[in-house]
Amino acid sequence: MKIGIVCYPTFGGSGVVATELGKHLAQKGHQVHFIAYDQPFRLEAFNENIFYHQVSVAHYPLFEFAHYESALTSKLVDVATFENLDLLHVHYAIPHASAAYMAKKILASKGIHIPIITTLHGTDITLVGKDPSFKPVIHFAMNQSDAITAVSESLKQETLDLFDLQKEIQVIHNFIDLKRYKGLTSTRQLKIKYAPNNERIIMHASNFRKVKRVEDVVRTFKEIHDHLPSKLILIGDGPKRQSIEAMCREMGTCADTIFLGKLRTIEEIFSIGDLFLLPSQKESFGLVALEAMASGMPVISSNVGGLSEVNIDGQTGFLCPVGNTKEMGQKALEILSSNHYPTFKQAALNQARKFDILQILPKYEALYEQLIQEKHKVA
C-alpha cells in the first residue's frame, strides 16, 4: 500500500505514535509518505520505503497568522496526486482532519478518490476540539472522514458524548515497540550516577503543560522523599518548567531532583527508574505510562480518561483522584517499600506486552485494506 501519514512532528504522544506506525508499516514493505511541517523527531534512520514531505507555510505581510491548514491541504493534494497514494491517515484532528477533507474534495474534482482515516489522540477532542472556535469544523470533518479511530475506549466515549457523530469510532489502542526496551547495557552505570547510595528513582516525563500537573509530581515526591531516600528525575520541558524548578527549591527537594530536559529517546534513562508518576488532569491514553511499564516501572497515575485501560489499579500500580498527592505518595510508598515490588514490576512488564506494536499494527493494516477495497467497489 502507499500510505500518506500526517502528524505533528514535535515531541508528544501523537507524533510518536504516527511516526512509529509509519516506520513499522515501511518495514513490512508498505510505502509511507510522512507529511508534516518539520521532520518528525522519531524519524531518524533511512528506510527506502519512507519519504518525508515538508509543509512550508508562506509568509506575506498581509497575513497576521500563518496559513498552515491551507499549505497542508495543497501539499496533500500534491503528494496524493504525484505519489499515487492509496489512502491518507491523519493524526490529531485539528486541523489535520479538515485539511484532509478539503484535499479529498479537490482530488475528487480531478477524478482521484482517496479514503481518509482520522485518528483522535486526546486534547484534539477533550481540550481544544470542544472549544467553540474549533468545534463545528472538527465535527464536520470527523463526519466526513471515511474512518475514525480513537486511542482508547475512554476517548471514544468522550467523543461520542461531545459530538453528534454519524460515523463509527474504532478503538485502536496506542502501542510501543518492545524491542526498543531490550538489551540495554548501560543501566548499572547510570543507576550509580543518579542514585549513588542506592536511593529509589522516581520519574516523570511530559511536555510540562498545565494539563500534566507536574506540581503534583513534585508534591508526591516530597511525600516519598520524607520517608525514603529517593531521587526524582524529570524529563521534558514546557511552559511549567520554571515554576516547577522554583517549587522544588521552596520545598527543599531540589538537591535530589534532576531536570534532564527534552530527550529524543527515553528507553535508556527509563531503564533505571523504580516508579513512574503521571498525575494528569486529563489523559486520553497516557502513552508515557505504557513506555514506563515497558521499562519495568510500576505507575502511580490519576484515574482520569484512558489511564485505567493502561494502568491496572493494584496490579501495575495505582490510580488516584486528580490532585490527591497525599494518596499518591502513600501508594508510592506502599509499592516501593513492600515485598510485592517485584510483583508490581512484573505486572507492569506483562501489561506492556499486550500493547506491543506486533499486536496493534495488523489492526491498522486491516482497516486500510477494508477502506481500499470499499473504494474499488465504488469506482
> In the complex, which residues of this chain contact ligand GMT (CB under 6 A)?
12-14, 17, 92, 121-123, 126, 151, 174, 207, 211, 282-287
**Least Å from the CB of residue 199 to ligand GMT:** 29
Whose Cβ is closer to ligand GMT: residue 107's or residue 292's?
292
Contacts of 343 (CB under 8 A, 6+ apart): none
Cβ distance to ligand GMT smaller for residue 173 or 225: 173
What grid cell was written down for 370?
A: 477494508
Q: Which is nearer to ligand GMT, 134 or 285 (CB)?
A: 285
Instruction: Identify which of residues 55 and 77 has a Cβ nearer to ligand GMT in the complex.
Output: 55
Using CB atoms within 10 Å of the CB of residue 155, give its burial: 0 to 12 exposed, 13 to 18 middle, 19+ buried.
buried
The nearer residue to ligand GMT, 99 or 287, going by C-beta atoms, is: 287
Angle, nearest 10°, between helix axes 287-294 and 13-27?
60
Q: Are 284 and 261 in contact (CB under 8 A)?
A: no
The strand pair at 257-261 and 275-278 is best described as: unpaired
Beta-carbon neighbour count of residue 133 at 10 Å? 7
Could you tell me the CA-to-CA distances from 233 to 21, 120, 258, 274, 325 in Å, in that order?
28, 30, 5, 11, 18
- Report the b/e string of 313-334 with b at 16+ CB within 10 A: eeebbbbbebebbebbbbbbbe
Q: Which is nearer to ligand GMT, 101 or 285 (CB)?
A: 285
